[in-house]
Structure 1
Amino acid sequence: MLDDSLKTQLSAYLEKLQQPIQLVASLDGSDASRELEALLQGIAALNDKVEYLRADDDARKPSFAIVRAGTDIDVRFAGIPMGHEFTSLVLALLWVGGHPPKLEEEVQNQVRDLEGEFRFETYMSLSCQSCPDTVQALNLMSVLNPNIKHVAIDGALFQEEVEARGIMSVPTIFLNGQPFDQGRMTVEQVLAKLDTGAASRAAEQIAKKDAFDVLVVGGGPAGAAAAVYAARKGIRTGVAAERFGGQVLDTMAIENFISMSYTEGPKLAVALEQHVRDYEVDVMNLQRASKLVPASQPGGLITVELENGASLKARSVILSTGARWRQMNVPGEEQYKNKGVAYCPHCDGPLFKGKRVAVIGGGNSGVEAAIDLAGIVAHVTLVEFDTKLRADEVLQRKLRSLPNVEIIVNGQTTEVLGDGAKVTGLVVKDRASGQSRTIELEGVFVQIGLLPNTEWLKGSVELSPRGEIVIDERGATSVPGVFAAGDATTVPYKQIVIAMGAGSTAALSAFDHLIRTSAPAEQAAAA
């Protein structure tokens, strides 16, 4: 399973091992077990510190554990961690082998100090770009604290288990046999749920911070660019972000980012954060803003209140809170979210193998989702509200060529049906005739655009009728000293490269604002 290129890369990584490790496999006679055995034997052949063993002591087959020899430290995978999870495999090998992780020592100590027994199970899919972050976070925690155990389970390979537990979205995490959480999680987010005092301690630390010259709210492409440009001016810069990377973390393939022909969202998000941390920027993750309080006088301090009760002050603020998937807002959608209603076809598509699904939305995202899903599921029904599809013609031609796809235009989704545990159907009304039909299916993928994350700004800055922050050509908002950039604003095109340019513009404008507002204050002080 390892070609020459992967062997070369992996061999270089394994040179970093500080302690011997064992790859302990549990296998049966299946093709998947034979593939896994070949992978593990191939890895063991690359370095003398790696030993392959066969135990067959796990009920899940194929599975394997990466064990630090002579200790109870291990990481386990149920399945073959290739695709997006290959990086998780490499990191697990290194961490179990004693290579230090790139995680703040304070956070590592929080993990080590956790008391109790924690048995985590994460259901993931190899095509899910959100899953590796969660898998890697829990793997790392299990290496740092022997009381924490973790197994990453390929849902597509263990479908009977997925069905029995009613899992319809990945990543889905169980703790000690009970549902724990769903979606992308970092070590800090897991800690926040396990360590109830973590949030209050974080709030106390934030409350002690001095005022920033520039405070960026949001950590997507616009926020990252703004932070870099502000920090390069030598001024005190901070970033408060709910999750660094923003919506980029949920983006699969990026093929129009100038200078690189292809990349993936999570990789770009890591690069963005690393670039920001190359400068003296105070990055505050897991922080959600709740209120903006303008300065009480010209040149005064602006306040950003956070949901945890803390407040940050700054001489200028750049709002880059981005956007999120728009919901249909029909009966049944909220009830069956993650129970058949999904928003990421790349992540959750493999869980619907051989089933019937619908895609809501006929733009590029919707049509691309339908094309991808058609290769996995039994049948796809695409529903578009408009009288015609809005996707690029090349995508429409591809979609219409697929035999297991039905296209409904001029259709309005009015209800998601279910049996209390999972989705069973969709009600669609023909907007021309007014007649409704019920479509029997097990999954609904919503792809109908974006909604700006600006609810917390109502009454503070001017918003458009669509809830976007109104800005001028310099990124200035209606409030002096407050600038904005990216998908949360009235910029007409929601693109990564445009958001970065807008973030840079906002930072330069904020710096210009600081220069112009500080001079009168300094003159007044001198007088």
Structure 2
Amino acid sequence: MLDTNLRAQLKAYLERVKLPFEIIASLDDSAAAREMHGLLSDIVSLCDKITLRTDGTDVRKPSFALAGAGEAPRIRFAAIPLGHEFASLVLALLQVGGHPPKIETALIEQIRNLEGEFRFETYMSLSCHNCPDVVQALNLMAVLNPRVHSVVIDGALYQQEVTERQVMAVPMVFLNGEHFGQGRMDVEEIVARLDTGTAARDAARLNAKQAYDVLIVGGGPAGAAAAVYAARKGIRTGMLAERLGGQTMDTMGIENFVSVLETDGPKFAAALEQHARLYEVDILNLQRAEKLIPATDNDGLVGVQLANGATLHSKTVILSTGARWREVNVSGEREYRNKGVAYCPHCDGPLFKGKRVAVIGGGNSGVEAAIDLAGIVGHVTLLEFGDALRADAVLVSKLKSLKNVDIHTQAQTTAITGADGKVNGLTYIDRASGESRRVELEGVFVQIGLVPNSEWLKGTLELSRHGEIVVDARGQTSLPGVFAAGDVTTVPFKQIIIATGDGAKAALGAFDHLIRSSAPQAVAA
């Protein structure tokens, strides 16, 4: 089942297993069951502390569960966890086998102290790069707390379930049979939702923090670069983020960051965080800023008020809150989000295997999405508002060579329609003829650019007509002591490498501001 290189890597990992445990497989006579049995047989052949049983009776077949000696299983894979989920399998094997998790002690205790019964079911796809974070978080919680159970389900393998439960975006999580959430979530975020006292404790802890020299709001490429450059100056640096890594967590492939030949978004985001932690930046994750409070003459400190009620203070602030996917803003888009309307073709594409989908947007992201989806779905309809596709010529040429793709330019999407809780089509106006037309389909992927995350700043500092923070050559905003960097600003060309450079520049600008504002004033003769 596993090739020679993968077997060697897995064998090295499994040497860390300390405690014996068993794999209990529930199999049928399907090809998927035979593939699963081959994978499990390879695993047990590589570690003498793991045994395999094939007498499982789970209703989902094929599937397999992991159970410590003398314990009932709490982790189950209704999947053949390869692709992006292979790491989730390896971690589950190690953690059930007694290898300690790499999370803070306080978080471990918080998980162990959760009260109640929690049965999580996570629908994922093997091509989804956000799914492993959710899967690994829930599996870890199941290892640490006997009241938590984690079931991982491959949507492509269990299409009937996906249809019945109307799973049209991954990762999608159910708790005790009820919808819990979708999209990327890490273990801290999940625990915070289950532990109702988390917000109050966080607010008290954050309110007690001393003022920073530089406080960075946002944890993407710009924020991380600003944190590294500021901390290297030896000043007290904090970085708060609603989601560490920012939009890079939703990026599949990164091939244009100079000196890094190829990587993916989650790996790049992890490297950003690791670099910032190297310089002892005070990182505050899962914190949403809601208000910027300008400095007063009394203390000279800028305030940042958080959603949990806490307020942080700093001599300077760098805003790097990034951007998010732009919506089409037509009838049905929000109503059918995650019910056929999607924004990540890599994550959700496999859920539409053999079906009809549309891609809205003819730039690079739209054309790339259409090419990617064409290899999975039955048919792709690409709609572009302008007179021609705006993507690179090589991408347009590739798209036009695909037989299951229709391209419509001068097409203004007017509505996304649905029935029985899911998408069934869209309508658009042919701008050349003025005629209204309808496309019957099951999915719509929106790829029309970005919106800056700056709504919380309106009325506080200068924004452009597009909502971007206006900055000068040093990253200075219209508010003294407040700088900005990255996709949230007026700087053109929203690219990772540009955001990191802007983050470094803003940090140097903030440091220069600190030096000048603290320098003794000349005394007149």
Give the alignment's TM-score, normalised by structure 2.
0.98
Partner Cα distance (1:283, 1:332) in 2: 38
Describe the superposition over 1:119-165 as per-residue Cα deviations: whole angstroms up to 9, x where unpaired: 10000000011111010110010011010000110000000011111
List aligned pairs for 1:474-485, cutoff 5 A: 474-485=474-485
Could you say which residue in structure 1 is the equivalent of 2:253? 253
* Match of residue 35 from structure 2: 35
| RMSD, matched Cα | 1.3
Q: Within 5 A, what are the aligned runs for 1:106-505?
A: 106-297=106-297, 300-505=300-505
Cα distance, 1:64 vs structure 2: 0.7
Could you tell me which amino acid in structure 1 is paired with residue 448 of structure 2?
A: I
Q: Distance in 2 between matches of 1:140 and 1:133?
A: 11
**Contact 1:73–1:142 (Cα < 8 Å) also in 2:** no
Report deviation, 1:66.
1.8
**Partners of 1:180 and 1:388 in 2: how far apart?**
41
Cα displacement (A) at 1:519:
2.0
3-state SS of the aligned residue for 2:519? helix
- Equivalent residues of 1:425, 1:441 under 8 A apart: yes
- 1:73 deviation in Å? 5.5
Q: Deviations over 1:164-205 (max 9, x none)?
A: 111111111011111111111111111122111111111111
Separation in structure 1 between the aligned mates of residue 228 and residue 26 of structure 2, nearest angstrom:
48
Whether 1:50 aligns to 2:50 is yes
Task: Supply the AA of the counterpart residue of 1:258.
Answer: V
Q: Give 1:206 deviation, angstroms.
A: 0.7
Take 2:74 and 2:174, find their aligned partners in 1: how far apart are those partners? 18
The 1:232/1:298 distance shift into structure 2, 3 A limit, reads farther
Structure 1 segments of 4 or more deviating over 4 A? none
Deviations 1:10-54 (A, max 9, x none): 111111112112121111111111111111111111121122221
Shift of 1:321: 0.2
Q: Are the aligned partners of 2:290 and 2:456 in contact in 1 as well (CA < 8 Å)?
A: yes
- Whether the 8 Å CA contact 1:475–1:506 is kept in 2: the answer is yes
Q: Distance in 2 between matches of 1:237 and 1:343?
A: 34
1:377-436 residue CA offsets vs partner (Å, 9 max, x unmatched): 111000000000000011001100111100000000000111140011100101122211
Q: Given that residues 123 and 171 in structure 1 are in contact (C-alpha distance below 8 angstroms), is that contact kept between their aligned partners in structure 2?
A: yes
Contact in 2 for aligned 1:68/1:74 (Cα 8 Å): no
Instruction: Report the CA distance between 1:298 and its aligned residue.
Output: 8.9
Tell which deviates more after alignment, 65-74 or 509-518. 65-74
Q: Does residue 518 of structure 2 align to residue 518 of structure 1? A: yes
**In the alignment, residue 253 of structure 1 is paired with which amino acid?**
G
Distance apart, 1:56 and its partner CA:
2.6
Structure 2 match to 1:508: 508
**Structure 2 SS opposite 1:203:** helix
Range moving further from structure 2, 68-77 or 416-425: 68-77
- Deviation sequence 1:318-354 (CA, Å, 0-9, x none): 1000000000001110100011000001111111111
Q: Is the Cα contact below 8 Å between 1:299 and 1:518 reproduced in 2?
A: no
Contact 1:251–1:264 (CA<8 Å) still a contact in 2?
yes
Contact 2:65 2:73 in 1 (8 A): no
The more displaced of 49-58 and 461-470 is: 49-58
How many positions carry a matched residue from both structures?
523
- Following the alignment from structure 2 to structure 1, what is the Cα–Cα distance between the partners of residues 44 and 224? 40
Percent identity between the aligned chains? 66
**Cα distance in 2, alignment partners of residues 513 and 303 from structure 1:** 17
Deviates more, 1:39-48 or 1:291-300: 291-300
Contact 2:230 2:507 in 1 (8 A): yes
Cα pair 2:361 2:448 within 8 Å, conserved: yes
Q: What displacement does 1:299 show?
A: 7.5
Deviations 1:214-257 (A, max 9, x none): 10000001101111111111111111100000000000011111
TM-score by length of 1: 0.97
CA contact (8 A) 1:364 1:395 kept: yes
- Which secondary structure does the structure 1 equivalent of 2:520 belong to? helix
Distance in 2, Cα, partners of 1:478 & 1:444 = 40
Q: Which AA in structure 2 matches 1:112?
A: R
- Report if the CA contact (8 A) 2:74-2:148 is conserved: no
- Per-residue CA deviations over 1:33-86 (Å, capped at 9, x if unaligned) read 111111111111112112222123111111111222223364211010001101
Counterpart in the other structure of 1:13: 13
CA–CA distance in 2 between the matches of 1:380 and 1:352?
A: 11
- Distance in 2 (CA, whole Å) between partners of 1:473 and 1:283 is 27
What letter is aligned with 2:471?
Answer: I
Structure 2 letter corresponding to 1:61: K
Following the alignment from structure 1 to structure 2, what is the Cα–Cα distance between the partners of residues 520 and 168? 62
CA distance in 2, matches of 1:42, 1:52: 10
C-alpha distance in 1 between matches for 2:89 and 2:27: 18
Q: For residues 429 and 444 of structure 2, what CA distance do their matches in structure 1 show?
A: 16
1:140 alignment partner AA: L
- The separation in 1 between residues aligned to 2:337 and 2:163, in whole angstroms, is 16
SS of the counterpart of 2:274?
A: helix
In structure 2, list runs of 5 or more residues that go unmatched.
none
Code of the residue aligned with 1:375 in structure 2: it is: G
Query: Aligned partners of 1:85 and 1:49: how far apart in 2?
Result: 22
* Structure 1 residues not aligned, in runs of 5+: none
1:78 is aligned to 2:78? yes
Identify the residue that residue 105 of structure 1 maps to in structure 2.
Answer: 105
